Chains A and B, each alone.
Chain A
Amino acid sequence: MAKIQLGEFEEIVLLTVAVLFDEAYGVSIKQEIEERLERSVSVGALQSALRRMEDKGFLKSRLGEATQVRGGKRKRYFTVTPYGKQALTEVKDARLRLWQAIPKIAFDF
């Protein structure tokens, strides 16, 4: 099986979508990341990451109900797919393996 490729920003976006669970759409994801990680996120970067990961199969999306706010435009809600979860797990395991492989002395300042 080909190794799953997941960039750092993509990993954060994917994790945030999981955190927000049923409430993950463009604006909420952006605000969540900005609050939790204290970094600013551009709409362009976020949206292109979301669409890219949807194409790869890490995410799936559905359109919500039209409401009076935002000019009557519907929201697109994202949820993580099992394949997306597998990707996240693999990245986490890889990190963990690396942490465990660090000799104690290395961090003994």
Chain B
Amino acid sequence: MKTSPPRWAQYFFRWYCHPAYYEDLQGDLEELYEERVRQAGTRQAKWKYMRDVLLLFRPAIIRPFSTSSITNPAMFRNYLKVSTRNLLKYKSYALLNILGLAIGITATIFLLLIVRYEQSFDTFHSDHDQVYRIGEYHEMGGKGDVLYKTKSPVAPTMAEDYAEVVAYTRFFSPENMRLRYQDQTINPQVHYVDSGFAQLFDFGLISGDIVYSLKTRDQIVLTQSTAESLFGQEDPIGKILGVVNKELQFVVGAVVADPPDNSSLQFQALLPWLNTPEWLAPDQAGDWYNTFMEAYVKLTPTANAPGLEEALIAFRDKYFVDPEANQTHITLLPLEKLRGEETQNASIMTLLGIIAVITLAIACVNFTNLSTAQSLLRSREIGLRKSLGSLRSQLVVQFLAESLLTCLLALVLGVLLVHLLLPWFNQYFDLPLTFHYWQNLSLLLWLLGIGIGTGLLAGLYPALFVSRMNPVRSLKGDGKHQASGRYLQKGLIVLQYAASILLIAGTLVIWRQIQYMKNQDLHFNKDHVVALSLWYSNFDFQSEEQAISAIQTIIPRLEKETAITSLAFAEKVPGQYNYNYNDFYDIDHPTEPPVNIRKTTVADNYFKTFDIEIVLGRAFSPELASDSTAVIINETAMKQLGWTDLEGKFLLEGGNNAEEEMRHPVVGVVKDYHYQSLKDEIEPLLHYYYGGDAYYSSQLAVRLQPERISDGLAALEQAYESLNPHEPFDYFYSFVDQEFDQMYKSQERLGLTATLFAGIAVVLASLGLLGLASFATRQRRKEVGVRKVLGASVLQIIVLLSRNFALLVLLAFLIACPLVYYAADQFLQDFAYRAPIRIDIFVIAGIAAILIAGFSVSLQAFRAASVNPVHSLRNE
């Protein structure tokens, strides 16, 4: 019986042996083997054969791996040439493919830049992880709410009582302050801060001594741009600034850099706490009762903030005077979380992140699908290469390298697009984004990883399946996808379309909610009302009293104007009410728990000016002296108080001492009007009365005749200019309806972003489908020809070719529906007043997806169906 040497040794030898030596060496080995079998038997021969193979593994015999064809320059050039030719031959597909992925990558970079920018807030302070904002968590009827403000003495007392607190500062800007240097005046945002400010935050000292300045009563710290606008190139340190309408002077002690865009704390000048106005004193508003102060503490590096929060319960019990204080907890919010809490955009950022991932996924899927489909066109090339002696491994490497290179090309293009579009994007979305490679290194590495992954995935199918094809078949050009490849492609199409439908529907939900909020009856008339700020330091007078009496003189003048329907002073107009709350007790039931009511102050004619309906009782009357302490509440407040009428009803305002507790007769109830964004529910609200035509600081609300808007504005401007203001009229007036709609700006921006990216996603998905459909119809060219010869109509053929794709889109729709509902429901949770999720959202999104898909598929189908069968059947 003939035996043969061990198989593995043969394979091993064939693998490593130099091809030029293989034949004669293998011959020698076999001759020796047979000789040995005769002489010493099979076992010995086999053993010796193995030994010889192992001993032949020497440099002189081993094949030169370094000159294998993959890295052989000539072969490599050939691969490159063939790849380029392929890209150029199918220009539109190449463009679809590369541009599609590039757009996906650009979109992802943009979205992640936004997210990164939001996360970068307040992280530039060197000790930012030790700094916390003090907040108060109030529990009310089972519902909890955090307000990131506290009482004025909390921060300094904490620093005294707890060793973990190493420094603190309050950050408070109660009023505008007009500063004067020689004949120049400016109106900076001035904040009072404690001397610990410099220990908590570093904004970058330009000159002077900030630590000393913040401890010294008559000193002021300016930001660089404020200093430059006052002093130009002169050295600001030591210059003396006056305050308009006040007998105050400050010496510039230090200049700090302007707070960057990604700082939550924005200011133009800092004053030491010692200068705070009298009403902030601990025995007045700055007591243990009023919560309005923005305050920060810095803890030791090892301190445990949640532990300190626990300990602060005792602190609260010791100091807080509010009888309901046991429902209040002092909270410490890490500084880097402040931005997310203040803008409440954490969910929006998550949404943007999800959109980024979906867009990138769609782009990658697209790339994979198109490359896979296109690889079939190259079955002839593969057949030719194989019959000329190319190894399968070489084909695998060729395909993988090719798709990797295409992918990297797309990546580079995507990054270039970011640079190109960034200025436009920033302007459009009002963002200060920058794109530096070194700052986004991890992002770029991620994208590189994703690019390589996509390249490998896209190259894997042709590399593994197409390269396996029999050369005879592939040379005939009838390459067909393996079933596995078709399932992969179909699955990816379904995924893409499901994502597209989700994005289309999501966009619809967002816009519908914005429209809903804008069109909802607010129960007050915000149209044609101008709010004008009459802030006395805007006018040059000797004292506050003089300024106020001068401002009062313009009221009778304005009332005479025919273009003005009515006007009223107010603390704030609807949409801008302060976050000012207090507890109120029903005087008939003083032992009942109080109602926490938001408060604002209005003057005569306020309800008339805004068309706010009084449902019970009456409006304030200037004739009744008793009305000076009267209040008007809204329906929600009345409901919470459990009242049905106003007969002899009085509210007792909570306070830290009996003197402050005042009895307020309730004279009227107004209809619940939306004084804030419809995102938030209407809370109990109370209006104080500032009687007579006395000047009340802040706003003047003026209702104009709808057809005489410009006349009314001109009259207002004239009256305003007669006071010799520092700032132009434009600076201080605004239309209430426009300001109100501004509250939906962040939602609109989100809607805009979602629309943009949904558009990109849909276009990408359609391009992918278009590419696939055209490949699929190309493959069925002959079938179509035969069908036409046998009498099929164009329409029948279109239906035949489109049916499969229509089914896929339908499947995608079914998958997307529950996702859409869940996502919409989650998004709407943020809004107190929601537009209902109606069935038409699904229908519109589904029909849009099917139409887009149908259009791109049937276009291809029509083209295939209208070809003369002679052309498709000509060659076999």
**Chain A residues close to B by CB (< 8 Å):** 25-27, 30, 42-45, 47-48, 51-52, 55, 63, 69-71, 73-76
Q: List 12 A-B contacts (CB under 8 A).
A: A27-B28, A43-B55, A45-B55, A47-B21, A47-B25, A47-B60, A48-B60, A48-B61, A71-B27, A73-B23, A73-B26, A75-B28
- Chain A interface: which of B30-38, B262-270, B280-288, B566-574? B30-38
User: Which of these, B28, B35, B51, contacts A26 with CB under 8 Å?
Assistant: B28
The reply to whether A73 and B24 contact each other, CB–CB distance below 8 Å, is: yes
The reply to whether B55 and A27 contact each other, CB–CB distance below 8 Å, is: no
Which residues of chain B have C-beta atoms less than 8 A from A69's C-beta?
31, 34
The reply to whether B30 and A71 contact each other, CB–CB distance below 8 Å, is: yes
The reply to whether B61 and A75 contact each other, CB–CB distance below 8 Å, is: no
CB within 8 Å for A25 and B23 given contacts A44-B55, A51-B60: no
Min CB gap B46→A, angstroms: 15
Chain A: CB-nearest residue to B54: A44
Min CB gap B758→A, angstroms: 67
Q: Total A-B pairs in contact (CB under 8 Å)?
A: 71
**How far, in whole Å, are A55 and B60 apart by their CA atoms in the complex?**
10
Which residues of B56-97 have CB atoms within 8 Å of chain A's CB atoms?
56-61
Which residues of chain A have C-beta atoms less than 8 A from B61's C-beta?
44, 47-48, 51
**How far, in whole Å, are A69 and B60 apart by their CA atoms in the complex?**
26
**How far, in whole Å, are A59 and B495 apart by their CA atoms in the complex?**
67
User: Which of these, B24, B27, B56, contacts A44 with CB under 8 Å?
Assistant: B56
Min CB gap B864→A, angstroms: 53
Tell whether B559 is near chain A: CB-to-CB under 8 Å: no
Which residues of chain B have C-beta atoms less than 8 A from A73's C-beta?
23-24, 26-27, 30
User: Which of these, B23, B30, B60, contacts A52 with CB under 8 Å?
Assistant: B60
Q: How many interface residues does B have (CB within 8 Å)?
A: 23
Which residues of chain B have C-beta atoms less than 8 A from A48's C-beta?
56, 58-61
Which residues of chain B have C-beta atoms less than 8 A from A42's C-beta?
51-52, 55
Give the one of A27, A52, A74 with max B CB within 10 A: A27
**Chain B residues close to A by CB (< 8 Å):** 21, 23-32, 34-35, 51-52, 54-61
The reply to whether B25 and A26 contact each other, CB–CB distance below 8 Å, is: yes
Which residues of chain B have C-beta atoms less than 8 A from A44's C-beta?
52, 54-58, 61
Min CB gap A79→B, angstroms: 14
Chain A: CB-nearest residue to B29: A43
Chain A: CB-nearest residue to B32: A27
The reply to whether B32 and A43 contact each other, CB–CB distance below 8 Å, is: yes
Which residues of chain A have C-beta atoms less than 8 A from B56's C-beta?
43-44, 47-48
User: Which of these, B26, B31, B60, contacts A27 with CB under 8 Å?
Assistant: B31
Chain A: CB-nearest residue to B52: A43
Min CB gap A99→B, angstroms: 33
Min CB gap B574→A, angstroms: 96
User: Which of these, B23, B34, B35, contacts A74 with CB under 8 Å?
Assistant: B23
Other than the given A42-B55, A70-B27, 7 more pairs (CB < 8 A) read A30-B32, A42-B51, A43-B32, A47-B58, A47-B60, A51-B21, A70-B34
Min CB gap B138→A, angstroms: 88
Chain A: CB-nearest residue to B55: A44
Chain A: CB-nearest residue to B28: A26
CB within 8 Å for A43 and B27 given contacts A48-B58, A51-B60, A51-B61: no
Min CB gap B43→A, angstroms: 18
Give the one of B24, B26, B55 with max A CB within 10 A: B24
User: Which of these, A25, A45, A51, contacts B28 with CB under 8 Å?
Assistant: A25
Which residues of chain A have C-beta atoms less than 8 A from B34's C-beta?
69-70
The reply to whether A74 and B24 contact each other, CB–CB distance below 8 Å, is: yes
Chain A: CB-nearest residue to B49: A43
**How far, in whole Å, are A25 and B28 apart by their CA atoms in the complex?**
8
The reply to whether B27 and A74 contact each other, CB–CB distance below 8 Å, is: yes
Which residues of chain B have C-beta atoms less than 8 A from A26's C-beta?
24-25, 27-28
Give the one of A42, A44, A55 with max B CB within 10 A: A44
Which residues of chain A have C-beta atoms less than 8 A from B51's C-beta?
42
Min CB gap A61→B, angstroms: 8
Chain B: CB-nearest residue to A55: B60
**How far, in whole Å, are A27 and B57 apart by their CA atoms in the complex?**
18
**How far, in whole Å, are A42 and B56 apart by their CA atoms in the complex?**
9
**How far, in whole Å, are A55 and B25 apart by their CA atoms in the complex?**
17
Min CB gap A20→B, angstroms: 14
**How far, in whole Å, are A1 and B409 apart by their CA atoms in the complex?**
56
Chain A: CB-nearest residue to B59: A48
**How far, in whole Å, are A33 and B29 apart by their CA atoms in the complex?**
17
Which residues of chain A have C-beta atoms less than 8 A from B24's C-beta?
25-26, 63, 73-76
Which residues of chain A have C-beta atoms less than 8 A from B30's C-beta?
70-71, 73
The reply to whether A63 and B55 contact each other, CB–CB distance below 8 Å, is: no
**How far, in whole Å, are A73 and B10 apart by their CA atoms in the complex?**
14
Which residues of chain A have C-beta atoms less than 8 A from B23's C-beta?
63, 73-74
**How far, in whole Å, are A47 and B51 apart by their CA atoms in the complex?**
14
Give the one of A25, A42, A69, A70 with max B CB within 10 A: A70
**How far, in whole Å, are A51 and B23 apart by their CA atoms in the complex?**
14
Min CB gap A7→B, angstroms: 13
Chain B: CB-nearest residue to A51: B60
Min CB gap A42→B, angstroms: 5
Min CB gap B4→A, angstroms: 9
**How far, in whole Å, are A89 and B59 apart by their CA atoms in the complex?**
28
**How far, in whole Å, are A69 and B23 apart by their CA atoms in the complex?**
13
Which residues of chain A have C-beta atoms less than 8 A from B28's C-beta?
25-27, 43, 47, 70, 75
**How far, in whole Å, are A30 and B35 apart by their CA atoms in the complex?**
13
Which residues of chain B have C-beta atoms less than 8 A from A25's C-beta?
24, 28
Which residues of chain A have C-beta atoms less than 8 A from B58's C-beta?
44, 47-48
